[in-house]
Structure 1
Amino acid sequence: MRRTPSRLPAAALLSVLVTLTLAMSGCARLDTTAPSTARENAGDDGKGTFGTVDCREAKCVALTFDAGPSENSTRLLDILKEKKVPATFFLLGKRHIERYPELVKRMDAEGHEIANHTWSHKILTKIKPDEIREELKRPDDAIEKLIGRRPTLMRPPQGRTNDTVHEICREFGLSEVLWSVTAKDYTTEDSALIEQRVLDRTERDGIILLHDIYRGTVPAVPGIVDELKKRGYVFVTVPQLMAPAAPEPGTVYRP
């Protein structure tokens, strides 16, 4: 007698489909640590740098910029200086650090966090381990030559990472930093739209992703800063957002 297969409950069926999809795509669940979790786990014995604010008490947010420096960075630095806002810059090496070394020095001198965004923006999950090392080492070396120390943070292009990337970042003393807010400023030059997208999505402990290489982004920054300050937010660098925790190499941080 032929047996009729029993039906899976909807929840179980969904779980199977998700598992199959992940297996077929080669993806795995990404384990991340929120800045608030890092702070809690550090207790009072952490070694992170507070700066001028304790984000356990204050309503903090971190403003980050990828893929610079560029011809727009001078204006951006002027705005940040005028508004007394620190930022975290994830810098590209090829055609950026090597083209605008004085801007890298200025970013550091004015209290911004300098971080690594690879040498040539290759997708790290698609290249071999030795190529990943080269993509991380070259900007590290260039940044150290300019400011006297190596970065402790990196952001993988397109946020794509995996266990191999984590392990190599650990070798290099780098923590991976993702984001919670993106304006998708690579899709538009409308500064008002970029500003609105950020304001609509920002919450406490958020990490905002912008790109100072795009024409519409820098003009949006004053409005973003002014409105978020009006809402009670305090701007900090990514390490300040985590304090008293210090970023752990090989760990992926995302709010």
Structure 2
Amino acid sequence: MLFSAIALSVLACVATVEAAPTNEKRQQAQVIYGCTQPNTVALTFDDGPYWYIYDISNALTSRGAKGTFFFSGNNYQRIYDQGAIDQIKYAYNAGHQVASHTWGHKDLTSLTWDQIHDEMWRVELALQRIVGVQPAFMRPPYGNYDDEVLYASYIRGQKVVIWDFDSGDSVGASAAESKERYRTTSLNRPSTLLALNHETIESTAHDVIPYAIDRLQSAGYRLVTVAECLGEQPYQWTGAPQTPTSDWRC
């Protein structure tokens, strides 16, 4: 019902969704704050696609590691720009996980029911078109969620991913400070780590991430995707990517 309604609304670029029930107990999406598989680290990257994705992907791949990229549809650049399409395909084809960070990077807790779905489905549609996947995980912008967001995620078949380690790159931490956070944490040696980074920061891509990978691997961790660190599947389904057409605009 929900997805057939959405499919009919593609040309209008507006999601049509069922009204949220108000007088019944509603199931909520699972919220994930950490990995479950011992000795795993999931390095995650928000706010892309962006051109630093090539450097991050190469740093991971050259060291036998995988990462997870939470993409927005219209944040630093539009997801249907050819450069963004190429960036997403590059990461996906390298074996990294792609997931949703919603369309416009809005605080979902400030939106209406229909607006929440609209923010979610546009990115899902883009990932279906560009690489042929329906993501099983989403990260709400700023890590903010409420009951409405969790219910919307549940009926969309997605789990909500937060984090248990923040590199601090989005709140002004220098590269040296972010590296020190990784160093200290690796010395404390938690069983797992679900790490927040941002794809759009040059020092993160060129300095922090190569250091973090080497440091964490030296501490004995396997660097894997979010799905792998949970022992789950990254996508609800996979199919063939589509050829861009004139309606790839929103």
Task: Provide Cα deviations, 1:97-118, integer angstroms capped at 9, x if missing partner.
Answer: 2231011111111111100001
Establish whether residue 127 from structure 1 lines up as the match of residue 111 from structure 2. Answer: yes
Contact 1:65 1:212 in 2 (8 A): yes
Alignment CA distance shift 1:178-1:246 (3 Å): same
Partner SS, residue 93 of structure 1: coil
Structure 2 unaligned segments of length 5 or more: list them.
1-28, 237-250
Establish whether residue 145 from structure 1 lines up as the match of residue 125 from structure 2. Answer: no
Cα deviation for residue 220 of structure 1 reads 0.8
Contact 1:85 1:236 in 2 (8 A): yes
1:222 is matched with which residue?
210
1:85 is matched with which residue?
65
State the distance in 1 between where 2:111 and 2:195 align. 27
2:145 is matched with which residue?
161
Structure 1 unaligned segments of length 5 or more: list them.
1-29, 40-54, 250-255
Cα deviation for residue 183 of structure 1 reads 1.4
Which of the residues 70, 85, 109 maps onto 2:93? 109
State the distance in 1 between where 2:57 and 2:30 align. 34
Which of the residues 186, 197, 208 maps onto 2:195? 208
State the distance in 2 between where 1:96 and 1:217 align. 21
Partner SS, residue 86 of structure 1: coil
Which of the residues 215, 231, 234 maps onto 2:222? 234
Which of the residues 45, 62, 67 maps onto 2:47? 67
Which of the residues 58, 80, 84 maps onto 1:98? 80
State the distance in 1 between where 2:32 and 2:46 align. 21
**Which one-letter code corresponds to 2:141 in the other structure?**
P
Matched positions, count:
200
Q: Residues 163-182 of structure 1: matches in 2 within 5 Å?
A: 163-182=147-166
Contact 1:64 1:209 in 2 (8 A): yes
Runs of 4+ in 1 over 6 A off after TM superposition: none
> Quick one: percent identity of the two aligned structures?
28
Contact 1:189 1:214 in 2 (8 A): no
Task: Provide Cα deviations, 1:197-250, integer angstroms capped at 9, x if missing partner.
Answer: 23323522210000010122112111111111111111111111111x55899x
2:14 is matched with which residue?
none
From the CA coordinates, give the structure whose radius of gyration is larger. 1
Contact 2:178 2:208 in 1 (8 A): yes
Alignment CA distance shift 1:248-1:226 (3 Å): closer
State the distance in 1 between where 2:104 and 2:95 align. 25
Contact 1:63 1:88 in 2 (8 A): yes
State the distance in 2 between where 1:126 and 1:217 align. 29
State the distance in 1 between where 2:123 and 2:153 align. 13
Q: Normalising to structure 1: TM-score of the pair? A: 0.73
Return 188-197 or 86-95, whichever deviates more: 188-197
State the distance in 1 between where 2:144 and 2:196 align. 15
Alignment root-mean-square deviation, CA: 2.3
Alignment CA distance shift 1:31-1:70 (3 Å): closer
State the distance in 1 between where 2:147 and 2:156 align. 14
